Amino acid sequence: MQKVIIGWLFVLATLFTHLSAGDSPRAVIIFDASGSMWGQIDGTPKITIAKDVLKNVVSKWNPQVELGLTVYGHRSKGDCNDIESIIPVGKVDKNAMISTVMSIQPKGKTPISRSMKKVADEIKYTEEKATIILISDGKETCDPDPCATAKALKAQGVDFVTHVIGFNVDKSTDRELECIATATGGEYFSAKNATALNDAMNTITKKVEKAKPAPKPKAKKLKNNLEISATEKEGGKWVKAYHRIYKVVDGEAEDRQLTAFSSYKKEPGVRQIPVGKYVVKSEYNEFRKTTPFEVKAGEVTKLNIVMGQTGKVEISATEKEGGKWIKAYHRIYKVVDGEVEDGLTTSFDSYKRKAGERQIPVGKYVVKSVYNELRKTTPFEVKAGETTKLHIIFGQFYIESKCPDMSEKVSYEVYASSGRLVIEESKPCNKKLKLTLEDGDYSVEAKIASGKKEVSFTLGRGKPNSLTIDLTNLDHKDEIEADSPEPTATGTTPEAKEALPTEEPKEQRIDDKEQMKQVTNLLNTLGGSVSEKDAKDLQKAGAMLKVLGGIIGASGKKAENTKESVENDKEFDEMEKDLDMYTK
């Protein structure tokens, strides 16, 4: 007897009544072209064996049963959506179908759930009686629970039955495949060898050929002719969404809304609306989706809107690490291409006994958290179907002061180690200054009417989170020094220092040199012999005497003090002697 091995080969036979031509059944074969089909059985690749088996099935196919072919995993690696209806359901062309099957080359994954749903959608399983035959030698490799998919199809189908054959599978896979059959009212066959597989195939094939189409239902008035549900992803669980319906006239959606309603996690949204063309604008979380559709006479239009995937963020907050939870306010902003968007995504509170939470679209964000006067910005990422938990530590630091009068106001200036002013605030002495600062070294200057004090402190793990500044016994050293005359390098007072000549600009020095030459020439004419240096000294002495003379003229006593100070200057004495020499 020929050994028959089928690696993930599905035969989907759908039987239903044609509303126009005769009552003939229809079938769709779903062929597995996943990469695992290159595995070998007794030295022969499973894909080769499967092709031979399918060739034999098609060659003996009952011409009264229309046939179609759907393949998955044949175009790309690792793509769970690589599913293609290669031959639409219709009168079978055996040679064309066999040729197509023989040309298939396995590459990708094994999306059982998605393949079942795609084919069921195409043959409108929710409107006609349907039977599925599933033959498998392994498990689903894309979606976690094909049994849940079968239950969902059964819940929406009419007389929907799935018969399943598990070929040479382990106990775990037996249970998974049997669940599909049980959930839909079908039978499960566990075939451990080729003979058992052929027997199971023959049993189910006879059921398919003898199955009768469901009787044509009597026409009845529909209570609702539109049903809309929503999911985050294809084949996912229903989610609550909001839908607004607009009529389409001459290819354009009208501005006026026809109706609006919600769909829910356990039931679709329904409406009775006139026959015609429409668009539905659906809203779920931050997602927006527009879908065109048509309502026909005597039919129920069923739509499932795939909105987009989300995840959950949970946020709690404390003042310090290991502290009790506090109530805080959080604003979330989307991050796109590394930039924080201006538009607010959502906002909410976290509490002393409960974290704040939101369901938001997958992506990168920042949360800006607020607690009293404190602010904290934290980046995070949300992944599909996962919960991202954030704990915001505000890192609160307290500064308080002891003052002679505790009601007196204290002015605080807090500086980073770089010298940058980070906080400037005033508080009554009996009130604490609350700060949120990054770890590092800081200094604070506290001022009251009678004086000030500067203190350094460090923030970080294991460091104190408070500082007390004692302003009750200030030594006023800074104030005393600030009120004293500033001595100069030569011991003169600031007034005398201000009167001394200063360094002249380069341009001025050039002009002075010309003047010194003129003075030299003049003195030589008078009979003296001088150099440019002598002339320069003379010029300085003249300037000093001019200043001194002005001071003496203004006040005799002040001039005497100034002269006494200037006479102590050796340079002045030397210049005075030079001047005497030139004027004799």
Give the C-alpha separation, 426 to 432, whole Å.
10
262: left (phi over 0), alpha (psi -120 to 50) or beta: beta
**Residues 68, 198 within the same domain:** yes
Whether the Cβ atoms of residue 513 and residue 550 lie closer than 8 Å to each other = no
* Domain final residue, candidates 393, 422, 456: 393
Cα–Cα distances in angstroms (integers) from residue 26 to residues 154, 200, 283, 300, in the given order: 19, 20, 38, 22
Give the C-alpha separation, 238 to 284, whole Å.
11
| Domain containing residue 551 | 494-583
**Residues 38, 161 within the same domain:** yes
**Residues 299, 350 within the same domain:** no
**Residues 171, 149 within the same domain:** yes
SS3 state at 498: helix
Q: Please report whether residue 220 resides in a domain.
A: no
Q: Is 128 exposed, middle or buried (0-12, 13-18, 19+ CB in 10 A)?
A: buried
Give the burial string for 324-361 (b: 16+ CB within 10 Å, else e). ebbebebebbbeeeeeeeeeebbeeebeeeebbbbbbb
DSSP state of 213: P
Beta bridge partners of 190: 166
Token pair listed for 503? 């360094």
**Residues 51, 141 within the same domain:** yes
Domains in the chain: how many in total?
Answer: 5
**Residues 28, 135 within the same domain:** yes
CATH of the domain at 368: 2.60.40.10
Whether the Cβ atoms of residue 293 and residue 301 lie closer than 8 Å to each other = yes
Whether the Cβ atoms of residue 542 and residue 575 lie closer than 8 Å to each other = no
**Residues 319, 409 within the same domain:** no
H-type helices in 25-111, by residue range? 46-59, 94-102
**Residues 75, 157 within the same domain:** yes
Q: Residues in the chain, how many?
A: 584
**Residues 58, 202 within the same domain:** yes
**Residues 206, 329 within the same domain:** no
CATH of the domain at 301: 2.60.40.1120
* Domain final residue, candidates 306, 328, 352: 306
Q: Please report whether residue 221 resides in a domain.
A: no
What residue has token string 């009130």? Answer: 431
Whether the Cβ atoms of residue 163 and residue 150 lie closer than 8 Å to each other = no
Helix (H), strand (E) at residue 478? helix 477-483
How many CB atoms within 10 Å of residue 431?
A: 14
Q: Please report whether residue 559 resides in a domain.
A: yes
Give the C-alpha separation, 231 to 39, whole Å.
36
DSSP state of 422: E
Q: Please report whether residue 1 resides in a domain.
A: no
Determine if the pTM surpasses 0.75: no
Whether the Cβ atoms of residue 452 and residue 408 lie closer than 8 Å to each other = no
Token pair listed for 313? 């963020």
Token pair listed for 377? 């910005």
Would you give per-residue pLDDT tens digits along the chain (584 residues)?
333 344 445 554 444 433 333 456 667 777 777 787 787 777 888 778 777 777 777 777 778 777 778 888 889 888 889 888 888 877 888 898 889 989 989 888 878 788 888 877 776 644 556 667 777 766 788 887 888 888 887 777 645 677 777 666 788 878 888 887 788 777 887 766 666 666 766 676 666 666 555 555 555 567 889 999 999 999 999 999 999 999 999 999 999 999 999 999 999 999 999 999 999 999 999 899 999 999 999 899 999 999 999 999 999 999 888 889 999 999 999 999 999 999 889 999 999 999 999 999 999 999 999 987 778 889 999 999 999 999 998 877 889 999 999 999 999 999 989 998 988 999 999 999 888 777 789 999 999 988 899 999 998 767 888 899 999 887 665 554 544 555 554 445 555 445 445 555 545 544 555 665 665 566 565 555 555 555 555 555 555 545 444 444 444 444 444 445 444 455 555 555 555 554 44
Question: E strands of 394-501, at which residues?
Answer: 396-402, 409-416, 421-428, 433-436, 440-448, 451-459, 466-470
DSSP state of 504: P
The CA-based dihedral angle spanning residues 480, 481, 484, 485, taken in that order and rounded to the nearest 10 degrees: -170
**Nearest partner of 360 among 314, 327, 392, judged by Cα:** 314
H-type helices in 63-165, by residue range? 94-102, 112-122, 146-156
Give the C-alpha separation, 59 to 12, whole Å.
17
How many CB atoms within 10 Å of residue 103?
A: 10
| 251 alpha carbon, distance to own chain's centre | 37
CATH of the domain at 14: 3.40.50.410
3-class SS letters over 248-279: EECCEECCCCCEEEEECCCCCEEECCCCEEEE
Q: Please report whether residue 427 resides in a domain.
A: yes
Token pair listed for 167? 């070929």
- State the pairing for strand pair 396-402/466-470: parallel
Q: Is 289 exposed, middle or buried (0-12, 13-18, 19+ CB in 10 A)?
A: middle
What residue has token string 């050929």? Answer: 209
* Domain final residue, candidates 271, 306, 341: 306
Q: Please report whether residue 218 resides in a domain.
A: no
**Residues 26, 86 within the same domain:** yes
Give the C-alpha separation, 53 to 61, whole Å.
12
Give the C-alpha separation, 517 to 537, whole Å.
13
- State the pairing for strand pair 226-231/301-306: parallel
Q: Please report whether residue 2 resides in a domain.
A: no
Model confidence pLDDT, tens digit, residues 33-55: 778 778 777 788 877 877 777 77
The CA-based dihedral angle spanning residues 89, 93, 94, 99, taken in that order and rounded to the nearest 10 degrees: -90
Q: Please report whether residue 489 resides in a domain.
A: no
**Residues 347, 283 within the same domain:** no
